[in-house]
A = this chain, B = another copy of it.
Amino acid sequence: MVIDCHGHYTTAPKVAQAFRDAQIGGRADAPPPEISDDQIRESVQPQLAFQAARGTDVTIFSPRASGMAHHVGDTRANLQWARLCNDLIHRVCTLFPKQFVGVCQLPQSVGGSPADCVGELERCVTELAFIGCNLNPDPSGGHWTAPPLTDRAWYPLYEKLVELDVPAMVHVSASCNPNFHATGAHYLNADTTAFMQFLTGNLFKDFPALRFVIPHGGGAVPYHWGRYRGLAQDMKRPPLVDLIRDNVFFDTCVYHYPGIELLLKVVPVDNIIFGSEMVGAVRGIDPETGHYFDDTKRYIDAIPWMNAADKQKIFELNARKVYPRINSAVRLKPDTTDR
């Protein structure tokens, strides 16, 4: 079984975003969008087609990351928007229970607090059977005004994550800072930033069971693995592999073979989870290979020196470990799959 841990609902019916535009445009009473089941079925056909073509089975699916836009809207508006987005994800997962399992958007905001997110996280996990959340380390959208992820301000949310036994993917949203292109800079910077916060802080002493997935292959981190090993050593921190062992995981959203090979070479296999970000940041076909840039399974399949057992960890078993609630979804038990 191949579990893709990183998919966003980038193809959601446009009326959803139109509602958001109205909402943040000041029309607080904008009516929620009417979206039929047929519209939802239609909207995820690209994902279903890519799953079938690429040989992946299920996508851990969350609202469009750049659409979260926590930097616009207050706590109340962003809660309404998060609920709407999460409910749409739930409908996708209900219509296609074998192909999608949900991860939620949190109602973060610039003026709000992480504690504001506890209720919606709990609703999504306990009522909608979601298995994780996306946590934005920079609700300001590129101004980085929130405290680091190791700050105690985040602890109320972490307590709930641990209680529910669900991980958070560290994922920023759109950038309103003209310095940062969203998918070409802001996303990767956030990944790198979060990792270094984890390296320097003692968060996992306080929360030994807290788990983060750092997407986009860990930003700059695996490429600079020697730098991070050296920084950890200079700072008298534990070795990186011990620092991250049970708490920090990288996805495989790296869109060329040499990058994937590097990731698989330097990061322990137990800390890598298959992901593609499909349909996402890069949508074209690589003229050098004739295949989609974001068909990341191909790169992993082609690694000659990794054995099948380790690849199974990346494709399936690590996701089951990091997102344990995926196992209680009967439809995803290996013996009940029918693909």
Contacts and interface: CB of A to CB of B under 8 A. Distances in A.
A160 interface: no
A225 B255 CA distance: 7
Interface in A285-333: 286-288, 293-294
A234 B282 contact: yes
Nearest to A190: B189
A196 B184 contact: yes
Interface string A173-195: 00001111101110011001101
Contacts of A179: 137-138, 144, 146-148, 193, 197
A259 interface: yes
A230 B287 CA distance: 10
B188 A284 contact: no
Contact of A224 (B229, B254, B283): B254
Contacts of A254: 223-224, 226-227
A222 interface: yes
Copies of this chain in the oligomer: 2
Nearest to A230: B282
Contact of A223 (B181, B262, B287): B262
A151 to B, nearest CB: 8
Nearest to A289: B226
Interface in A127-148: 137-138, 142-144, 146-148
Interface in A90-143: 137-138, 142-143
Query: Which of A138, A188, A200, A234 has the most B CB atoms < 10 Å from its CB?
Result: A188
A116 B186 CA distance: 29
A219 interface: yes
Interface string A241-273: 000000000000011111101100110000000
Contacts of A219: 192, 220
Contacts of A224: 188, 216-217, 254-255, 259
A3 interface: no
Contacts of A281: 227, 230-231
A192 B185 CA distance: 6
Interface of A: 137-138, 142-144, 146-148, 177-181, 183-185, 188-189, 192-193, 195-197, 199-200, 216-217, 219-220, 222-231, 233-234, 254-259, 261-262, 265-266, 281-284, 286-288, 293-294
